[in-house]
Amino acid sequence: MRIVVDAMGSDNHPEPDVMGAVAAAREWGDEIILVGDEERIRAVLARQDTANLPLRVVHAGEVITMTDVPSEASRQKQDSSMHVGMNLVKAGKADAFVSAGNTGGVLAVAMLQTLRRIRGIKRPALGVLFPIKGNPMLIDNGANADARPEFLLQFAQIGSLYVERVRGVPNPRVALLSNGEEEGKGNELIKETIPLLAGSGLNYIGNVEPKEFIFGAADVAVADGFTGNIIMKTAEAIASYMSETIREEIKANPLTTLGGLLARPAFARVRRRLDPDEVGGAPLLGVDGVVIVAHGRSSAYAIKQAVGQARQAVAHDIVGAIRAGVAANPSSEKVEIQQ
């Protein structure tokens, strides 16, 4: 297996990206292709022990930055690490692409410039695996800020395929993420999507509220990308606000400070259990190649985990499965991607 890692992706690139790639090569022995500024990549590699590791460097002269406007940068920076990396996958010279870079940039380069959509896919979607028990998938997590019922139906289909094939969950429970379980709850989009899911042949269990999703009631929760992204960001914000509040209150007096010190290993375990770095990136589903998007603030460990996620997706041929799934659920409607 040959996996491309975008060396220019993370906020602190290229260090975490390169070091994560090295760790992945060491752990699994698969070939890792580092794409980006060759000189900077080699400078980081020179500080590691990489003897005998299956690492390769491919130079790319441009970088799509966090502040670039995705649609423009994807057109103008054709020699970016994202373009070069995904073109390796497209040409069959690599099996997957991993990036912690500008998410919109990855989406635009994948969908509009390089890999493009799998035939029959209306809109690719980002499926994030929540760092909670069972790692249920929330899809879409921001690829499509506005969606239509037939898009949500396809998100459900490809999310269910991923969770079944790659995560090994038999017959995944698929739900619509809504503000109430009852029929009649939800916005127009939700209400119009319900009959499509009910007739989809998926294991559709109805609407779930955020609480039910967080407590494991579904394996795949479907939302438009705006809602999905807001949920993920709210979850992260509350977790961080609560941690800060707990820290403040524990430090407020000597006895609770002592208690906090004794309980420290428990807090460390909580942090690990809720760490988004553990699940290792979000698959961009529906493009014609395996693409995993990691957090901008990814550590080397998060990059390594994202490579792990990519390996699983390749090993279980998720792209072939989605292609076959779309063929089995043909759609008469043609939809063009709009910018």
| Residue from the set 43, 198, 237, 328 that interacts with its own copies by CB under 8 A | 237
Residues 6 or more apart whose CB falls under 8 angstroms from that of 207 comprise 175, 176, 177, 178, 180, 181, 182, 183, 185, 186, 190, 194
Is residue 11 near its own copies by the rule CB under 8 A? no
Task: Say how many CA atoms lie within 13 Å of 209 toward its Cβ.
Answer: 7
Is residue 79 near its own copies by the rule CB under 8 A? no
Instruction: In whole angstroms, give the CA distance from residue 168 to residue 120.
Output: 25
Is residue 336 near its own copies by the rule CB under 8 A? no
Measured CA angle at 233 (ends 113, 127), to 5 deg: 45
Is residue 337 near its own copies by the rule CB under 8 A? no
Name the minimum Å distance from CB 299 to its own copies: 19
Name the minimum Å distance from CB 233 to its own copies: 4
Is residue 76 near its own copies by the rule CB under 8 A? no
Q: Where are the alpha helices (DSSP H) in the chain?
A: 15-28, 38-46, 70-76, 81-90, 103-108, 149-165, 188-198, 210-214, 225-250, 254-262, 264-273, 276-279, 300-315, 318-328
Give the chain's length.
Answer: 339
Task: Say how many CA atoms lie within 13 Å of 289 toward its Cβ.
Answer: 28
Buried (b) or exposed (e) across 301-333, using 16+ Cβ within 10 A?
Answer: bbbbbbbbbbbbbbebebbebbbebbeeeeeee
Peptide bond into 140 cis (omega under 30): yes
Is residue 217 near its own copies by the rule CB under 8 A? no
Choice between 253 and 331, CB closer to its own copies: 253
Residue 32: beta bridge partners? 3, 55
Name the minimum Å distance from CB 80 to its own copies: 19
Name the minimum Å distance from CB 28 to its own copies: 30
The pattern of x and - marking residues 102 through 121 that bind its own copies according to CB under 8 A reads --------------------
Q: Using CB under 8 A, which of the segments 21-29, 110-118, 121-129, 211-219 binds its own copies? A: 211-219
Is residue 15 near its own copies by the rule CB under 8 A? no
Contact 174, 204 (CB under 8 A): yes
- Reported as type and span, the H/E element at residue 3 is strand 2-6
| Residue from the set 56, 93, 269, 297 that interacts with its own copies by CB under 8 A | 269
Helix or strand or coil: residue 50? coil
Map the footprint of its own copies across residues 175-194, applying CB under 8 A.
177-179, 184-188, 190
Choice between 34 and 190, CB closer to its own copies: 190
Map the footprint of its own copies across residues 33-72, applying CB under 8 A.
69
Choice between 197 and 307, CB closer to its own copies: 197
Name the minimum Å distance from CB 236 to its own copies: 7
- Which positions lie near its own copies, rule CB under 8 A? 69, 132, 142, 145-146, 177-179, 184-188, 190, 209-211, 213-215, 224-227, 229-231, 233-242, 245-246, 249-250, 252-253, 255-256, 258-267, 269-270, 273-274
